[in-house]
Chains A and B, each alone.
Chain A
């Protein structure tokens, strides 16, 4: 079942990338998608039923808007630190505890954290995410997650978990 889903997604991506429907192109796409599915199908998302729940797509739209806004803020933040003559940085690696269950949700949260202001995910071990922070604002470990994960975690929980 999940192999079929991966195959359809891959073939769709191929058709969008090449944008022509001639037989040769279709055959090449089907071969490429089949080979990829055979090798990597078992690593694909486990809960395939999640694709069919419409509420997840609504939350995805909300998440995208917030994510793009945070992404823009991140860029102005880094640009400001880079151009400022004194370079106001106070870097450090801290750990945050995650509340998500599925692997895919964790990966999406780690990716989102990399794109948000001043944070870069370093490693993910079990439930604990190590984050490099360009300006450590507080030395209280309880407050880290408030600054870093709380913005996205609730949305990602509704979308992917």
Chain B
């Protein structure tokens, strides 16, 4: 039973990681690519880590894998935020299909207020 659960979760994890990678290649701009990279890849990796519990039980390896899930969750979300904010301030344009950008107003306001920050 545990062996079956291990294999099922491992397969789900690998398949979602694959979707994440396809998204990384197909989607048009940085912002959309990060969506695929954070969501699919995080869940895929969490699923792989969870599968290790069924393979090894609550031993040293199993507990380490379980602890990896919350750590990965915080690391992935914060990294996605940092990357997306960084690339916006660096000036990476949004793709042609974009319909709205309310962040631009804020950026304009703040650059008018502090013309020379450094």
Contacts and interface: CB of A to CB of B under 8 A. Distances in A.
Chain B facing A: main interface SS? helix
B62 to A, nearest CB: 10
B31 A132 contact: yes
B36 to A, nearest CB: 6
B16 A91 contact: no
B11 interface: no
Contact of B38 (A16, A19, A120): A120
A89 B99 CA distance: 10
Nearest to B110: A125
Nearest to A20: B60
Given A90-B97, A111-B78, A120 B42 contact: no
Contact of B23 (A82, A95, A122, A123): A82
A115 B40 CA distance: 9
Chain A facing B: main interface SS? mixed
Looking at chain B, what size class is its interface with the partner chain?
35 or more
B92 interface: no
A79 B64 CA distance: 28
A105 B73 CA distance: 16
Contacts of B85: 122-123
Given A71-B43, A75-B43, A111-B78, A13 B67 contact: yes
Contacts of B19: 75, 78-79, 82-83
A157 B43 CA distance: 25
A92 B101 contact: yes
B35 A120 contact: yes
A93 B26 contact: no
A13 B63 CA distance: 11
B81 A122 contact: yes
B43 to A, nearest CB: 5
B103 interface: yes
Contact of B67 (A17, A91, A123, A130): A17
A94 to B, nearest CB: 5
B28 to A, nearest CB: 8
Ranked 6 nearest A-B pairs via Cβ: A92-B100, A82-B23, A111-B77, A79-B19, A114-B77, A93-B103
Interface of A: 13, 16-17, 19, 71-72, 74-75, 78-79, 81-83, 87, 89-95, 110-111, 114-115, 118, 120-123, 125, 128, 130, 132, 134, 136, 139
